[in-house]
Chains A and B, each alone.
Chain A
Amino acid sequence: MTTKIIELGPHQLALEEPMYFRVRLEGDRVADLDVMPGQVHRGMEHLVMRRNLYQNITLLERLCSLCSNSHPSTFCTAVEEVAGIVIPPRAEYLRAVADEIKRIASHLFCCAVQANAIGEIPLFRRVMEIREIMQRAKEAIYGNRMDLAANVIGGVRYDLTPEAVAYLYQAMEDMKKPLDELYLQFANNPALMARMAWVGVLPREAAVECAVVGPVARACGIDYDVRKKSPYGAYDRLDFEVATQTAGDVRARNLVRLAEARQSVSLIEQCLAQLPAGPLCADTLPEIPAGEAIAKSEAPRGELMYYLRTDGSDFPVRLKWRVPSYMNWDALKVMLKGEPVANIPLIVNSIDPCIACTDR
Chain B
Amino acid sequence: MHMQVEETAVEPVRLFRINTGSCNGCDVELAVTSAVTEFDVEQLGCRYTESAREADVVLITGPLTVRARDEVLRLYAATPRDKVTVAIGVCPVSGGVFRDSYAVDGPLERHLPVDVNVPGCPPRPQALLAGISEALAIREARRAGVEPSRKPKQGKRPNADNFPARGRLSFDAGACVDCRMCRHVCAAGAIRFQEGEDGVRLTLWHNSCVFCGLCCHYCPTGALSVTGDWRLDHPASDTFRQVERGEIPYAPCSGCGESIVPAAPQLLHAAFRRPNPEIEKLATLCPACRQVMSIGAPRR
A residues at B contact (CB < 8 Å): 9-11, 16-18, 38-43, 46-47, 50-52, 54-59, 61-66, 68, 109, 112-113, 124-125, 128-129, 132, 135, 139-140, 143-147, 149, 152, 157, 284-285, 354-356, 359
Contacts and interface: CB of A to CB of B under 8 A. Distances in A.
Contacts of A10: 19
Given A64-B24, A129-B37, A41 B67 contact: yes
Given A47-B98, A52-B184, A41 B21 contact: yes
Given A41-B103, A62-B96, A132-B36, A149 B213 contact: yes
Q: Which 3 A-B pairs have the closest CB atoms?
A: A65-B25, A43-B103, A43-B101
Most central of B121, B184, B211 by chain A CB within 10 Å: B121
Contact of A61 (B36, B50, B62, B212): B212
Interface string B127-153: 000000000000000000000000000
Contacts of A43: 98, 101-104
A57 B24 contact: no
Interface in B23-62: 23-25, 27-29, 31-32, 35-38, 50, 62
B166 interface: yes
A54 B22 CA distance: 22
B236 interface: no
Given A58-B210, A59-B187, A143-B166, 17 more contacts: A11-B50, A16-B19, A17-B27, A39-B65, A42-B101, A52-B185, A61-B212, A62-B25, A62-B210, A63-B23, A132-B32, A135-B32, A139-B165, A143-B213, A145-B122, A147-B121, A152-B214
Given A39-B67, A143-B165, A356 B187 contact: no
B298 interface: no
Contacts of A50: 100
22 contacts: A9-B71, A16-B19, A17-B19, A17-B27, A39-B68, A41-B66, A42-B98, A43-B98, A47-B101, A52-B185, A65-B23, A112-B35, A113-B31, A125-B35, A129-B37, A132-B38, A140-B164, A143-B166, A143-B213, A145-B125, A146-B28, A149-B213
Interface string B156-197: 000000011110000000000000000011111000000000
Contacts of B217: 152, 157
A21 to B, nearest CB: 14
Nearest to B213: A149
A159 B58 CA distance: 39
B63 interface: yes
B101 A46 contact: yes
A246 B189 CA distance: 48
B25 A147 contact: yes
A156 to B, nearest CB: 11
A72 to B, nearest CB: 10
Nearest to B19: A18
B272 interface: no
Given A40-B65, A65-B24, A149-B166, A16 B31 contact: yes
A47 B100 CA distance: 8
A284 B65 CA distance: 35
B35 A65 contact: no
Q: Point out which of A42, A47, A124 has the most chain B C-beta atoms below 10 A from its C-beta.
A: A42
B131 to A, nearest CB: 16
Contacts of A64: 23-24
